[in-house]
Amino acid sequence: MNIGGVNELLDRTFKLSERGTTVGQELRGGLVTFFAMSYILVLNPIILSTQDSTGHYLGGGTEGANVAAIAAGTALIAGVMSILMGAVANFPMAMAAGLGLNAMLAYTVVSLPGMTWADAMGIVVLEGILILVLVMTGLREAIFRAVPGFLKTAISVGIGLFIALVGLYNAGIIRTGTGTPLDLGINGSIASWPLAVFILGLISIIVLMVKKVRGAILIGIVIATATAIIAEAILNLGPKGNDGSNPTGWGLTVPSLEGSPVSVPEFSTLGAFSITGPFEKISVIAVLVLVFSLMLADFFDTMGTMVAVGSEAKLLDKEGNPPKMRQILAIDSLGAVAGGVGGVSSNTAYIESTTGVADGARSGLASIVTGTLFLLSTFLAPLAGMIPYEAATPALVVVGFLMMQQVAQIDWKDLVVGIPAFLTIVFMPFSYSITVGIGMGFIAYTILAFVDKRKVHPLLWVVDVLFVLYFVRGPIEAALGL
């Protein structure tokens, strides 16, 4: 095989030289992104293992959820959509089942009288089709372009703080406190080997970054994972219990391998959806409320993620827009449809893609690498499951720092700019929601700009109304009996 010819073809196809990257950087970045996202292969089956209102489980009958099938379906859809994102949009942003969206299905939708998992996935498909229509009509892109540049910067900074908090909390270095909302480690101290692994991973990455070592994030993850495997083999720490038991255990994934590293995937969740089912079980208005709630979260989470990834990769134009925006948004919309058809919840853009970008990814080749690893993980799920939270999450904290650097671009002395930017930034981590942060910033800016007699794009007024409806959806759902 002519390696040089392959590299030249990849360079032309993905504009590697133009974007200041190499095949090696893209491979490494795609691998880092996969490591940062691989937790979804464990977490999505856990969340979707809820019994529906008819007593049935996803991918199984009444005995329990088919966890292996959910994991395989999760990996399959994530792999296909990430590869599409890379091949069609040439953007270093991977996709997988969206957290928050899957929780809404598991803890709200399937608990409604008569609703089955197939009905819930039908709602996801409807939501995806609706967003795709908005993309094809140009409305989703128009809304994105109507957002002022400083708000796009604030969104990126807010996401940085958000993912840093996600990393700290998922690693267990920050936990729910007894006398305070949050606390350090175990009763205010670092008192377990998993926490030590997190600290080791974080220190390794930042030291390597200061020394300007290429692949610092990937090397740090590998060091932390190897240490975790050794610690588990010697000490047999086991998992941390959801009920507070074994607080010194691993957060989600125990870094040990039991049995064969290869497993034959089962895809029984594929095709397990019904578009007509929801309308037969609940009212049309109730279905529309559920579709709207999913759509709004999906719509603006992706916008924030796209800005953050593009900004970190230096791919945004002067107005803060990424290249091939319509293709990016179209693939993301198809992800919702594919997730519903695959029976594993709506697939959406993952903010963890910024970890790969921080390690050098600048093109869609990295997303193709990540997607390929997801496809391989349908067979190698045991190996993918060996990477504990504590080894992967230091990357999120480091990326949070990198994204925080953009805060200097905001004119804080202009209150019409500074206050909405501040609300956008603080509401994301404090509400644990990208969508909430964006909504608060949009509404604040529109009000202040109107009061200060500045021009506000008409689309922002429309979006503000939608956000207000989103924020008061609880009373609306209660009035509808949801």
pLDDT in tens, 5-50: 778 889 999 999 999 999 999 999 999 999 888 878 877 886 787 7
Give the tokens for residue 279: 């309308």
Mean pLDDT of 253-272: 82
Q: What is the pLDDT of residues 84-117, one digit of tens each?
A: 999 999 999 999 998 767 877 887 788 888 899 9
Burial letters for 349-369: b for 16+ Cβ neighbours within 10 Å, e otherwise? Answer: bbbbbbbbbbbbbbbbbbbbb
pTM of full prediction above 0.95: no
Q: What is the 3-state secondary structure (H, E, C) of the chain?
A: CCHHHHHHHHHHHHCCCCCCCCHHHHHHHHHHHHHHHCCHHHHHHHHCCCCCCCCCCCCCCCCCCCHHHHHHHHHHHHHHHHHHHHHHHCCCCCEEECCCHHHHHHHCHHHCCCCCHHHHHHHHHHHHHHHHHHHHCCHHHHHHHHCCHHHHHHHHHHHHHHHHHHHHHHHCCEEECCCCCEEECECCECCCHHHHHHHHHHHHHHHHHHCCCCCHHHHHHHHHHHHHHHHHHHHCCCECCCCCCCCCCECCCCCCCCCCCCCCCCCCCCCCCCCCHHHHHCCHHHHHHHHHHHHHHHHHHHHHHHHHHHHHCCCCCCCCCCCCHHHHHHHHHHHHHHHHHCCCCCEEECCCHHHHHHCCCCCHHHHHHHHHHHHHHCCCHHHHCCCCHHHHCHHHHHHHHHHHHHHHHCCCCCHHHHHHHHHHHHHHHHHCCHHHHHHHHHHHHHHHHHHCCCCCCHHHHHHHHHHHHHHCHHHHHHHCCC
Q: What pLDDT sits at residue 368?
A: 97
Q: What pLDDT sits at residue 240?
A: 86
**Is the pLDDT higher at 163 or at 422?**
422
Rounded Cα distance, 447 and 451, in Å: 6
Q: What pLDDT sits at residue 338?
A: 97
pLDDT above 60 (res 322): yes
Least confident segment among 371-385, 418-432, 456-470:
371-385
Q: What pLDDT sits at residue 84?
A: 97
Query: Cβ distance 368 to 35 under 8 Å?
Result: no
Q: What pLDDT sits at residue 87?
A: 97
pLDDT above 70 (res 58): yes
Q: What pLDDT sits at residue 384?
A: 60
Query: Cβ distance 306 to 93 under 8 Å?
Result: yes
Could you tell me what percent of the chain has a pLDDT over 70? 96
- Measuring CA to CA, which residue among 122, 98, 110, 100 is closest to residue 51? 110
pLDDT above 80 (res 281): yes
Instruction: Give the N- to C-terminal CA distance of the chain in Å, as an integer.
Output: 60
Give the tokens for residue 151: 């708000």
Q: What pLDDT sits at residue 383?
A: 66
Mean pLDDT of 78-88: 97
Query: Cβ distance 218 to 32 under 8 Å?
Result: yes
Mean pLDDT of 176-180: 82
Integer-rounded Cα radius of gyration of the chain: 22
Q: What pLDDT sits at residue 382?
A: 64
Q: What pLDDT sits at residue 2?
A: 60
Rounded Cα distance, 442 and 45, in Å: 34
Residue 184 backbone dihedrals phi, psi, to 5 degrees: -80, 125
Rounded Cα distance, 91 and 362, in Å: 7
Q: What pLDDT sits at residue 4?
A: 65
- Measuring CA to CA, which residue among 9, 89, 83, 22 is closest to residue 361? 22
Is residue 346 left, alpha or beta, with left meaning phi > 0 and alpha meaning psi from -120 to 50?
beta
pLDDT band at 128 (very low <50, low <70, confident <90, very high): very high
